[in-house]
């Protein structure tokens, strides 16, 4: 949306379209971004995912005002998981650099390392779930728990989607294709991994910063908080 508005403010309504005929010199279409369509597609998808997580976070804040909210004690395992996801992102970045330099060995190692760290992260998340469940933090016991399970599940599902593309790319590399054949896929995977790391850091910060009890509803905000008097 911001891109569209930015582009639009550069246009003027004074120009008469029927005389605005200029030479045609762009092979792919005038005004097209000089990027592969799949890269633009990923950008649009990330906008959709941002909308999804932003709305969830808004819902988190609004629901937090409820009297029954008991903030979840952040499990220590999440620090380990965060480290694993960060390492996976670093590995993907390393892969991207290797792909740019044409080093297929580096790509192979980087992809495998990135995948292993990602699987570690996902396994770690499941382990945290299991721990919480065993400690009595059931999904329905408190809205804070429910939000934790929901946010981590959706984030994990996005990572699984990324792993599907990662799997296809890694299989190609395993078959011995040229580095040029996977360069774009590697680049897209890297961007996606960085994005999901960023989302996770925001979610993790949200969990860490949530005060033990929250009651921010004043009479002025009572309607939007949805709390009855």
Partner 1 sequence: MSYVAHDESAFVRPAEVEEAELYHPKTFIGKYIWSQDAKVIGVQYAITAIAVGLVALVLSGIMRLQLGFPHTFSFINPSNYLQFVTMHGMIMVIYLLTALFLGGFGNYLIPLMIGARDMVFPYVNMISYWVYLFAVLLLMASFFVPGGSTGAGWTLYPPQAILEGTPGAHLGIILMLVSLAFFIIGFTMGGLNYVVTVLQARTRGMTLMRLPLTIWGIFMATILALLAFPALFVSAIMMTLDQTLGTSFFIPALVSRGEHLDYSGGSPILFQHLFWFFGHPEVYIVALPAFGIVSDLIAVHARKNIFGYRMMVWAIVAIGGLSFIVWAHHMYVSGMNPYFGFFFATTTLIIAVPTALKVYNWVLTLWRGNIHFTVPMLFAIGFIFTFVNGGLTGLFLGNVPIDLPLSKTMFVVAHFHMVMAVSPVLVVFGAIYHWYPKVTGRMLNDSIGKFHFWVTFLGTYAIYFPMHYLGFLGVPRRYYAIQNLDFIPPSAQSLNVVITIAALVVGAVQLVFLYNLVWSYFKGKPSGDNPWQATTLEWQTAHTPPTHGNFGSTLPVVYRWAYDFSVPGAETDFIPQNQPPSKKAGSTEET
Answer positive or negative: Cα dihedral of 111, 117, 118, 119: positive
**What is the rounded distance in angstroms from the CA atom of residue 172 to the CA atom of residue 155?**
26
Give the CA dihedral 199, 151, 209, 216, nearest 10 degrees: 120
- By CB under 8 A, residue 164 contacts partner 1: no
Q: Measured from the CB atom, is 20 or 76 closer to partner 1?
A: 20
Q: Which residues of 125-146 are buried (b: 16+ CB within 10 A; e: fewer)?
A: beebbeebeeeebeeeebbbbe
Three-class secondary structure of residue 178 per DSSP? coil
**What is the rounded distance in angstroms from the CA atom of residue 17 to the CA atom of residue 22?**
11
Interacting positions 85-124 with partner 1 (CB under 8 A)? none
- By CB under 8 A, residue 134 contacts partner 1: no
Interacting positions 22-81 with partner 1 (CB under 8 A)? 22-33, 35, 37-38, 40-41, 44-45, 47-48, 51-52, 55-56, 59, 62-63, 66-69
| HSE-up of residue 78 (Cα within 13 Å, Cβ side) | 17
- By CB under 8 A, residue 211 contacts partner 1: no
> Which range, of 2-10, 72-80, 111-119, 187-195, touches partner 1 by CB under 8 A?
2-10
Q: Measured from the CB atom, is 16 or 76 closer to partner 1?
A: 16
Q: Which residues bind partner 1 (CB under 8 A)?
A: 1, 4-5, 7-8, 11-13, 15, 17-33, 35, 37-38, 40-41, 44-45, 47-48, 51-52, 55-56, 59, 62-63, 66-69, 139-140, 143, 146, 150, 154, 220-228
């Amino acid at each position: 949306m911001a891109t569209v508005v930015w582009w639009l403010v550069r246009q003027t309504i004074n120009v008469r379209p029927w005389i605005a005929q200029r030479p045609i010199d762009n092979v792919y279409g005038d005004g097209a971004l000089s990027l592969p369509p799949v890269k633009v597609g990923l950008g649009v998808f990330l906008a959709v995912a941002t909308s999804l997580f932003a709305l969830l976070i808004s819902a988190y804040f609004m629901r937090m005002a409820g009297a029954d909210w008991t903030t979840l004690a952040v499990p220590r395992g999440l620090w380990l998981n965060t480290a694993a996801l960060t390492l996976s992102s670093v590995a993907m970045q390393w892969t991207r650099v290797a792909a740019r330099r044409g080093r297929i060995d580096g790509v192979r190692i980087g992809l495998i390392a990135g995948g292993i760290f990602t699987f570690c992260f996902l396994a770690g998340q499941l382990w945290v779930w299991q721990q919480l469940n065993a400690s009595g933090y059931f999904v329905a016991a408190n809205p804070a728990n429910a939000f934790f399970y929901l946010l981590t599940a959706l984030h994990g599902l996005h990572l699984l989607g990324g792993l599907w593309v990662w799997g296809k790319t890694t299989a190609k590399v395993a078959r011995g294709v040229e580095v040029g054949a996977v360069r774009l896929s590697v680049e897209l995977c890297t961007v996606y991994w960085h994005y999901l790391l960023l989302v996770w850091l925001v979610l993790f910060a949200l969990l860490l910063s949530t005060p033990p009890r929250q009651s921010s509803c004043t009479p002025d905000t009572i309607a939007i908080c949805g709390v009855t008097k």
